Structure 1
Amino acid sequence: MRLAVLLYLLSAGTMCSAETLVYFGTYTRGNTSSEGIYVATLDEATGALSQPRLAAKADNPSFVAIAPDGKTLYAVSETPWTDESSIGIVAYSIGDDGTLKQLNQRSTRGGAACHVAVHPSGKCLGVANYSGGSCASFPINDDGSLGEIASFHQHVGSSVNPRRQQEAHAHSINFSADGTQAFVADLGMDQIVIYDVVAETGTMTPSKQRSLKMPAGGGPRHFCFAPAGNIALANLELSSEVALLRYEDAARRLSILKVVSTLPGGQAVPGNSTAECLVHPNGQAAYVSNRGHNSIAVFRIDASNGDIEWIENESIRGEVPRGFGIDPSGKFVVVANQNSDNVVSLKIDGESGALSPTGSEITVGTPVNVRFLKR
């Protein structure tokens, strides 16, 4: 009997000690109070965010990614330098208290490294260089540190927008669920560039379908898969739209199903641009952030017939929502408002996917990216 009680207490203690950490990538250059990467906790019952702490000092760590085992975090260093000695990606071990300890750093061989994704196996990662118009991949060592660069691909091309699309601008990189392919959204070329991946070596090579052409002048920025893996999204930064895509994994083929506006009634909002797109874990709702309209657009997805339908736009209680994340429970969206130095949480309606404010708000200097770690 005493043993049973002891085991119960130990189990209860373990459950009570579980927490959901939220990491924020930021800009540290320019007029900002940020010093690097910050961490807070999320109450998954209420959506309340704790006061943030500095997890690690870093230079313009605008985007971060966490390894599948939750032991390491990788952050880009979004600087203009492109020489071999410049730093574009940094590896950190995650401490018991959520703080970060640097393991090592590497050059990405391209200016303004702006996005990083870890392979599903945890054996390698990919980086997109915005101003360099290129992408790179690295093997990950057993201790979480980064090996020597395994692949580098320079994109070449342009599109119709004379101000933003005179040259290639790789803006994000994402892996398929099985890790056999990587997808690089290139805003300057109006294409999703596709690579085949070998996880063991971290190498990427051009796929048989080299790329998917997106609507001219749209400017694909970010890309994400729905949980089932046969549907994906790409938000178009320049045209305030989102594209619903079909992915045939056996044929390794990507195609466009439908493109819709991220603004109410499809009415243009001067100066608006989209930033992030995510699909809810249930695969039935999707979200896109609008900078200018300062809202999150909510959509309903029907994967069976390849349809996407606008539901609403919810205010983000701030200015310029750059990145956001859906918490592991699927109950809340946490939004980083770059120009108002605040982060807010929104509650997700379990049936419709619609959003509503929780009332929780914290201050983070120039927040850009949101990533969760439940442990």
Structure 2
Amino acid sequence: MRLLISSLGLLPALLDVICAINIFVSHYQGTLQSLTVTPTSGGGYTLTTNGTVIIGGQPSWLTFDSASRVLYVSDEGNTGSLTSVAAEADAPGGAVANVLYGNKRYVASVNYGSSLLTTYKLPLSSSTQTLQNMKLTQSAKGPNSRQDVPHPHQTVVDPSGNFLLVPDLGADLIRIYSINSSSGTLTSCGNFVEAGGTGPRHAAFWGDKTLFVANELANTVHRFSVAYSGGCMTLTKEQSLNTMAGGKSAPSGTKVGEVHVHDNFLIVSNRRDLSFSPNDSLATFSLDASTGAMTLTGVTSSGGTYPRTFQINKAGDLVAIGDQTTANVVVVKRDITTGLLGPQVASMRIGTVGQAESDNGLSAVLWDE
């Protein structure tokens, strides 16, 4: 266990900036920034930088505990660290996502490259030890060249707080774990098996009975009904739609990114679809209020290329988009009635631009809420 406290000495200053609206931004070159979004008299917004902290590695994912004002940053580089505001503790390489669970007393991190699911008890400190370090396996290689081994891509906790799900792009599985709330330990209690070559990447719950999963390799989004029995969760696939306007096939090289829900709407990012050449797109779906059935209602520009990450603010009227390759943060308006994304109201380049299909450029955006 290695702790690097000095590298985070300036981070509390960023966390204490409370002006207008703030966005945290990470870049694969090893930096973390705080931006302020300020409304202008003309109805637009300006983006200004509050400061930059060099944390090293390749930060790839941000989780924010607003109560304690602590950021947890996963590192996708070879050092594979999980970084908090006060410490950086070693974890296996290729960390791409993390989530707080067990009433924010534990954190679970997945490692894409090394096929690991790792948990820690919080807070991280010099005495922090790995709680669990689970090596994921699969019975056979998948049909896609990227499916030679398991590649877990996200950790998400269900609304009850009793289960943790891991979409596994390599194994075509949605792995389900029960949570022991007192000890923080996870126990596997089944998987949902997707068709070969689906590549589940990112998931979001809508209420407590519906789950949406964005599939990177198939360029689809799936809707599942959720049930609980026998001490575990079961998933039943109810719907599958692609994310292109008019239901057309995704261009070669396109990769679905993230999926987020707000009220009765869902947004999915499309990377390298070039629907707004040279820019990529975000697709908006309306959700049936009773069943959650999806209907594609609009596709809009991401304001850059390779939108790896985006997030809707709590009010639902703004969306922050992180375009990885063009390394710019874009803010667009969102109609809270129709769910549709409107015009771009602000954009700022962060650090150096990246190259397509490479782990560089902008990596994550997160509202300070």
TM-score range, shorter chain: 0.7 to 0.9
1:170-198 deviation per Cα after TM superposition (whole angstroms, max 9, x unaligned): 11111112321110010000111011112
Q: How many residues align?
A: 330
- Gap regions ≥5 residues in structure 2: 1-17, 274-279, 352-360
- Structure 2 CA distance for partners of 1:149 and 1:271, relative to 1, 3 Å: same
After superposition, residues 13-28 of structure 1 pair within 5 angstroms as: 19-28=20-29
Does structure 1 conserve the Cα–Cα contact (< 8 Å) formed by 2:39 and 2:46? no
Does structure 1 conserve the Cα–Cα contact (< 8 Å) formed by 2:102 and 2:179? no
- Structure 2 CA distance for partners of 1:364 and 1:73, relative to 1, 3 Å: same
Does structure 2 conserve the Cα–Cα contact (< 8 Å) formed by 1:139 and 1:200? no
Does structure 2 conserve the Cα–Cα contact (< 8 Å) formed by 1:325 and 1:333? yes
Task: Select 2:215's aligned residue among 233, 236, 253.
Answer: 236
Deviation at 1:79, TM superposition (A): 1.4
CA distance in 1, matches of 2:236, 2:38: 39
CA distance in 2, matches of 1:47, 1:230: 38
Task: Select 2:31's aligned residue among 28, 33, 36.
Answer: 36
Q: CA RMSD in A?
A: 2.1
Q: Is 1:52 paired with 2:49?
A: yes
Q: Which amino acid aligns with 1:150?
A: L
Q: Which amino acid aligns with 1:247?
A: V
Q: Which amino acid aligns with 1:133?
A: S
TM-score, reference length from structure 1: 0.82
User: Aligned with 2:48: secondary structure?
Assistant: coil
Larger relative contact order (C-alpha < 8 A, sep ≥ 6)?
Answer: 1
Task: Select 2:327's aligned residue among 323, 341, 344.
Answer: 341
Deviation at 1:106, TM superposition (A): 2.0
CA distance in 1, matches of 2:182, 2:23: 29
CA distance in 2, matches of 1:145, 1:181: 29
Aligned sequence identity (%): 23
- Counterpart of 1:4? none
Does structure 1 conserve the Cα–Cα contact (< 8 Å) formed by 2:151 and 2:170? yes
CA distance in 2, matches of 1:202, 1:222: 23
Does structure 2 conserve the Cα–Cα contact (< 8 Å) formed by 1:120 and 1:175? no
- Structure 2 CA distance for partners of 1:341 and 1:146, relative to 1, 3 Å: farther
Does structure 2 conserve the Cα–Cα contact (< 8 Å) formed by 1:276 and 1:289? yes
CA distance in 2, matches of 1:367, 1:43: 21
Q: Is 1:370 paired with 2:365?
A: yes
Does structure 1 conserve the Cα–Cα contact (< 8 Å) formed by 2:154 and 2:166? yes
User: Aligned with 2:290: secondary structure?
Assistant: coil
Which is worse superposed, 43-52 or 286-295?
43-52
- Gap regions ≥5 residues in structure 1: 1-16, 29-34, 81-85, 93-102
- Structure 2 CA distance for partners of 1:114 and 1:40, relative to 1, 3 Å: same
Q: Is 1:169 paired with 2:151?
A: yes
- Structure 2 CA distance for partners of 1:219 and 1:131, relative to 1, 3 Å: same
- Counterpart of 1:319? 305
Which is worse superposed, 249-258 or 217-226?
249-258
TM-score, reference length from structure 2: 0.84
1:65-123 deviation per Cα after TM superposition (whole angstroms, max 9, x unaligned): 0125142111011113xxxxx4520111xxxxxxxxxx1222223x2101111126111
Deviation at 1:216, TM superposition (A): 2.1
CA distance in 1, matches of 2:117, 2:182: 18
CA distance in 1, matches of 2:227, 2:254: 32
- Structure 2 CA distance for partners of 1:239 and 1:363, relative to 1, 3 Å: same
CA distance in 1, matches of 2:45, 2:102: 29
- Counterpart of 1:273? 255
